[in-house]
Structure 1
Amino acid sequence: MMQKVLLFADIGIDDTIALIYSYLSEEIELVGVVADYGNVPRSRAVASVHYLMKQLNLIDQIPIIGGAEVPMTAEQPKFYPEIHGEYGLGPIKPGLYEGIIENFFEIIRLIEKYGDELIIVNVGRLTSLANMFILYQTLMNKVKKIYLMGGAFWVPGNVTAVSEANFHSDPIAVKIVLTYANNLTIIPLNVTDHAIVTPEMVDYIEYKGRSKLVKPLMDYYYGFYKKRNPLIKGSPVHDAITLMSAVNDDMFTFRNLPVHVVTSSNGIHRGQSIADIRPYIQFEETAKKHRIAFSFEYEMFFARFMNVMTGESFERKKE
């Protein structure tokens, strides 16, 4: 049975790859997209989702919801066009969307409609998700599962030495989600940094022809990563592997641990994610723990990603 997924995204290239993956997958039914600020301003994120839905012939079939424009820290967000392009689509510039976007509270209707069948996957900033917990905590706890891309546990961050971008951009929102969410899974940089898609994989996806958008997007993305690290073999698809986690739990190794986030307004530690692994501490039964993915099987990721993106089987036959 296909899993119903509501995606919260701050449209960038890896968010877009996740959206394309969901369209091609036979395991995921995308029921809505919440377009947030993050990699690009919200207005451009909305425009990019509309462009993509049009390219996939899904326009008017999936609600596109306007999410948050600024973080709960009351700061002006920083955007990353050098990584993702002006609209989060690499070299593609669709222009601003001038039509009507779905009201934020369309999220309520979707949760009420699908209830415990619904999985929320948050691959961008956590501001919109936190707002839902502030306003509708009881309703949010009817959701089947929540997966989020964020954090870095004992590995380098990608904004500061210790902080990952989604947690760093709005640590207050992260703390709200960690405090109130149940059945939450965190997919941090520990995993996503290693979900590498190589140029050879991209070329084969292009050859198979299921999506003509993948190559221009990933070539642009790889250009950034290659310039930053000449030794890198490809581009990490942080958001695609997070979406995949919603239907591929068996790829990962998880631990259930208490998680803390540093909410200070500045400094190297802002947004740092800390998991308490002290073996001699007896946590209270009421202590909130969350499931964290610390590793994954790359071969399994490779096979399942390529299966969906090419329509061809890459699974190894069991001997």
Structure 2
Amino acid sequence: MLVKVLLFADIGIDDTIALIFSYLSEDIDLVGIVADYGNVPRARAVTSAHYLMESLNLKDQIPIIGGAEVPMTAEQPKYFPEIHGEYGLGPIKPLAYEGEIENFFEITRLIEKYGNELIIVNVGRLTSLANMFILYQSLMNKVKKIYIMGGAFWVPGNVTAVSEANFHSDPIAVKIVTTYAKNLTIIPLNVTDHAIVTPDMVNYIHHKGRTQLVKPLLDYYYAFYKNRNPSIKGSPVHDAITIMATICEDMFSFRELPVHIVTSSTGIHRGQSIADIRPYIQFEEKANKHRIAFSFDYGLFFKRFMTVMTGESFEENNK
């Protein structure tokens, strides 16, 4: 069944792989992109989103919306060109986009248009999504499902020892989303750190020729990860596996638990995500519980990712 996805992304390399996957998948209908600050400044994220749409022959077919520019913490964002490149596209530097950026309320039109058919996938900072819950709670309740990439539950973080980047950058926004969102699924580092795309996989995707963007992006990404951790076997595609969850839920093992977010402005615990697993606690009926993915089947991930990215049926040929 074709799923309609509105993607919130802070355009970086793994965001771009998720976007390319959605474009190539026959099961995902991408209806809009909200380009936020995060890996790069918002203006560059919007520029890169337009560049990608043009590269995929989708110019003017999918709305691109300028999202948040700064977090709710009122801090200046920290960007990560050493990981994702100056524009979130590794070595690629597109010409600056000169059109409209501040069109945030276009999100409401998309939700009103697609209603309970719409799935929101948030793979960047959660500031824009939190703003939607502040301004439009009743409208947000019409959305079918929300998936977010973020958090680290009893595993190491990637910014501090316990905190993942999306949650660490704006923990106040995460608190708002986890307080008010219904039908929310969290895809944390527990899963995404292990969604590895190896150089051999990248080379085969490039050889099959459905897209020429993947290799320069993931070669750049892998160089960073390899320098940081020489034992790593490939690039973790955090955001691609999150968008895959909308059509491949059988890959994952989930638990539904209350989630607490540490919102302190400083310290190692900032942005820490805590799931309460105490079996003897009777939670209030109104307490929000969210689905959290704690593990996944890498074999299924490999087959389904490669099938979409190459156009070759790995499901049949690689049982």
TM-score tier by shorter-chain length is over 0.9
Whole-Å Cα distance in 1 between the matches of residues 306 and 190 of structure 2? 22
Whole-Å Cα distance in 2 between the matches of residues 245 and 306 of structure 1? 15
- How much does 1:101 deviate? 3.6
- How much does 1:286 deviate? 1.4
- How much does 1:317 deviate? 6.7
Aligned partners of 2:303 and 2:318 also within 8 Å = no
Secondary structure in 2 matching 1:157: coil
Secondary structure in 2 matching 1:295: strand
Match of 1:114 in 2: 114
Whole-Å Cα distance in 1 between the matches of residues 73 and 218 of structure 2? 32
User: Aligned Cα RMSD in Å?
Assistant: 1.1
Aligned partners of 2:179 and 2:288 also within 8 Å = yes
TM-score by length of 1: 0.99
Match of 2:45 in 1: 45
TM-score by length of 2: 0.99
Match of 1:60 in 2: 60
Please tell me whether residue 100 in structure 1 is matched to residue 100 in structure 2: yes
Aligned partners of 2:257 and 2:290 also within 8 Å = yes
Secondary structure in 1 matching 2:30: strand
Aligned partners of 1:63 and 1:102 also within 8 Å = no
Whole-Å Cα distance in 2 between the matches of residues 145 and 211 of structure 1? 29
Whole-Å Cα distance in 2 between the matches of residues 129 and 302 of structure 1? 30
Cα-to-partner distance string for 1:175-230 (whole Å, 9 max, x where unaligned): 00000000000000000000000000000000000000000000000000000011
Aligned partners of 1:64 and 1:102 also within 8 Å = no
Match of 1:258 in 2: 258
| Structure-to-structure mapping, 1:106-185, within 5 angstroms | 106-185=106-185
Secondary structure in 2 matching 1:146: strand
Read off the aligned partner of 1:109 and give its amino acid letter: R
Secondary structure in 2 matching 1:315: helix
Match of 1:224 in 2: 224
Whole-Å Cα distance in 2 between the matches of residues 89 and 233 of structure 1? 21
Match of 1:213 in 2: 213
Secondary structure in 1 matching 2:59: coil
Cα-to-partner distance string for 1:51-87 (whole Å, 9 max, x where unaligned): 0000001010000000000000000000000000000
Aligned partners of 1:35 and 1:66 also within 8 Å = yes
- How much does 1:287 deviate? 1.2
Secondary structure in 2 matching 1:258: strand
| Structure-to-structure mapping, 1:49-88, within 5 angstroms | 49-88=49-88
Read off the aligned partner of 1:58 and give its amino acid letter: L
- How much does 1:102 deviate? 6.2
Match of 1:287 in 2: 287
Change (3 A) 1:302 1:265: same
Secondary structure in 1 matching 2:172: helix
| Structure-to-structure mapping, 1:25-44, within 5 angstroms | 25-44=25-44
Read off the aligned partner of 2:72 and give its amino acid letter: M
Secondary structure in 2 matching 1:242: helix
Aligned partners of 1:263 and 1:270 also within 8 Å = yes
- How much does 1:95 deviate? 2.6
Aligned partners of 2:6 and 2:119 also within 8 Å = yes
- How much does 1:100 deviate? 2.3
Match of 2:239 in 1: 239
- How much does 1:283 deviate? 1.2
Over the matched positions of the two proteins, sequence identity in percent amounts to 83
Aligned length: 319
- How much does 1:315 deviate? 1.2
Read off the aligned partner of 1:43 and give its amino acid letter: A
Question: Gaps (5+ residues) in structure 1?
Answer: none
